[in-house]
Structure 1
């Protein structure tokens, strides 16, 4: 699988989101149709024409970025360096910088030149976009979790990143993004990103569950090949350590349901083995997978049935 974030661990709330869902991006002549014309069919798009040598641009652009983030999805910003995109600047008759075009419905609807104060920028955006309604971030996260559970990793990551652009320390979105990295085979990047979080944030239940998932994956990678462990069980079905290790190897290999089956079988055979290790590991596994995972609810019911049988 290709890296979900090939340039490294994404920063929280900044940078591009997979699938083109970012609110602030650097545009070009080649990407203008997708970034501006097509995107403006769904939301107001501001196009900031600037240049590296332009002093007023350095005042205007940060204000535009701030207001776009505050709009939480109702407005997008595309920044275009006129020196690097001279043909596009000529086509749109950009005579000085900064110049800002507003696009809606695939066409320019308004524009201004120069660095306006924040109050005038707010009025300009409000006139075109209206007060708008910020998207319900929890609903976006819930949708992304469903997509991730269905294997739509990149689409889910795009939604999680969209939430993080609006709220950089949204714990459920951070946890979801880390799970996307893990699902994409980038567990080391997920671990590095988790390690950078403030301690209080990392203790949030959803992020703690990700830490558990990484711990279980590391354990599973250390126990050896499933074939060798199955051979041990073929010789002795009551080799509890082999069954325990086999469950962890299955988990590390992405076979979560089979891992649950093996741990439940171990618990059925000897619930007291190794200080209740099978049940404790099942609890960890349920936490790591998350309540939305289709195998968790069934696994919990089966464990309860064994506990009270």
Structure 2
């Protein structure tokens, strides 16, 4: 618990809430209910183990802050996330109701653990430690099975390493919702492309065969798509997108939008994780992804 004044409000509340939800307790020394709720809030801050930050503001001493939040009675608690108030309550609520309030807004223990594991996995990747990254991503998925971002990163990394069977095992719990979650659908399209080439004994000969078919008929979209899938299977992403663009330039809606959907899947797969930024800021975009997004827009909208 931290006592906040106008001097440290920016750092302890606004900036801190960019990383962790901040619960502001407006109180005063003469307030009886404040003395009841104060120890409950401090107890919960300990129990939640860093999932939210508790600060206290003496509304008598810090009237400017109290007025800024429109405080009319105390105790009043206001929760901030990403620098903005998102919810609050007045009065000395019982512990159970305060926990219910917090649970609506703060991450679960599993989500916090998963986020830490994801960050550690990205650090391991930056250091070239693939096995360490896989292990931390497995831990993230175990801690928060609904964390689709962690699962996406895990399956993607396993596929990049050629561990297709393990990737399929990791993907199995979410396969039913792949059609409704675009990034999961993108992984499935990549796995489908790899499966389609699994029985190709000689990829170079197969590529030559497809090239000949396309040379004979530039509108042989089945051959073009098969060529794109073959390139996808071997992670030749830009060449695969170039081939898909050839289809889109000739028939935007071919095979129920198959070329466009596969192109978007590749963009999802090759896009690196975006760094966290403050609300209102836009993270930098990978130049290859940005270029191929523009190319897709140019073709689709033409």
Q: TM-score range by the shorter chain?
A: 0.3 to 0.5
Q: TM-score, normalised by structure 1?
A: 0.45
Say which structure, 1 or 2, has more relative contact order (CA 8 Å, 6+ apart): 1
Q: TM-score, normalised by structure 2?
A: 0.46
